[in-house]
A = this chain, B = another copy of it.
């Protein structure tokens, strides 16, 4: 029946990935996750999007905060802040074990994909989650206040600085994860789904990897995106704010244009159905449905709708 590839960032992406994992068998789905936000902190290796996707699929993610683990405790954080003032990035006691294990595994020479597999196994996740790359691509935000490492922009400064551009350092040396790259070029690829993640911060790093964009243009499989924009706003995160800062209306039409060179279909929210005709005029199919995933049922419903929509499309 072939395999579905999904490109995924953090929270919003993880919700759809969870839905997809509920309706596809482990061998029918590959989740390629953004690692441009990865960073070292306190000697730990933190992969925010991988962790969010893992924790979400393992059913241990905190449902309200949008990051980290449910029932987390903060004893370590309280103690370390006695020694240094680095308390802007919150590390829970349980979450810490993931980052410490990963840092040590990488130090002993394991690749990020290998460590991710080990962590997924430990969490009992059967579906395949891979980092977009094992290489140290780093997202840098160019703002009115200078160049900022991703976590400084995103967490420490709460996305307040005005974004002028986004750069992916070391991208020219980064190779896409082999399993991900192989699937993109495989006739077994059944569809590609871009999760409702931030186009600039979560999807672009994946697209920037050598061969990914051209493979998306040339694949025979349909490529669909679930729009992260609902009613002119992003449900979570700074996508809409950044679009405005980049002189792009915060609309589904902008999303369609942004992915135009490879996109076959866009899924937009019921409230945005008025945007459908303009997008269709671009030669991109549109599916209008509820894209706001509040409950587990919403995630499964959106995953089913997305797959149905994608499977029904024929590539241009």
A42 touches B93 (CB 8 A): no
B93 touches A79 (CB 8 A): yes
Produce 1/0 per residue, A177-202, CB < 8 A to B: 00000000000000000000000000
Pairs A–B under 8 Å by Cβ, sample size 24: A42-B104, A43-B43, A43-B100, A43-B103, A43-B104, A43-B107, A73-B75, A73-B93, A75-B75, A75-B93, A76-B76, A76-B94, A76-B96, A79-B94, A79-B95, A80-B100, A80-B101, A82-B97, A82-B123, A83-B101, A83-B118, A83-B122, A84-B101, A93-B93
B83 touches A119 (CB 8 A): yes
- A123 proximity list for chain B (CB < 8 A): 82
Would you call A98 an interface residue if the criterion is a C-beta within 8 Å of the partner chain's C-beta atoms?
yes
- A92 proximity list for chain B (CB < 8 A): 75
Q: State whether A97 and B122 are in contact (beta carbons under 8 Å apart), knowing that A43-B43, A43-B103, A107-B43 are contacts in the complex.
A: no
B75 touches A98 (CB 8 A): no
The 8 closest A-B pairs by CB, nearest first: A79-B97, A75-B93, A80-B97, A93-B93, A79-B94, A83-B101, A76-B93, A82-B122
In the complex, A164 Cα to B196 Cα: how many Å? 65
> Which B residue's beta carbon lies closest to that of A74?
B93
Would you call A257 an interface residue if the criterion is a C-beta within 8 Å of the partner chain's C-beta atoms?
no
A307 to chain B, nearest CB (A): 32
- A73 proximity list for chain B (CB < 8 A): 73, 75, 93
- A97 proximity list for chain B (CB < 8 A): 76, 79-80, 82-83
A277 to chain B, nearest CB (A): 51
In the complex, A224 Cα to B79 Cα: how many Å? 37
Interface size class of A (residues with CB under 8 A): 20 to 34
Would you call A261 an interface residue if the criterion is a C-beta within 8 Å of the partner chain's C-beta atoms?
no
A94 touches B75 (CB 8 A): yes
A141 to chain B, nearest CB (A): 26
A185 to chain B, nearest CB (A): 33
Would you call A78 an interface residue if the criterion is a C-beta within 8 Å of the partner chain's C-beta atoms?
yes
Produce 1/0 per residue, A126-150, CB < 8 A to B: 0000000000000000000000000
> Which B residue's beta carbon lies closest to that of A96?
B76
In the complex, A82 Cα to B72 Cα: how many Å? 16
In the complex, A95 Cα to B42 Cα: how many Å? 15
A42 to chain B, nearest CB (A): 6
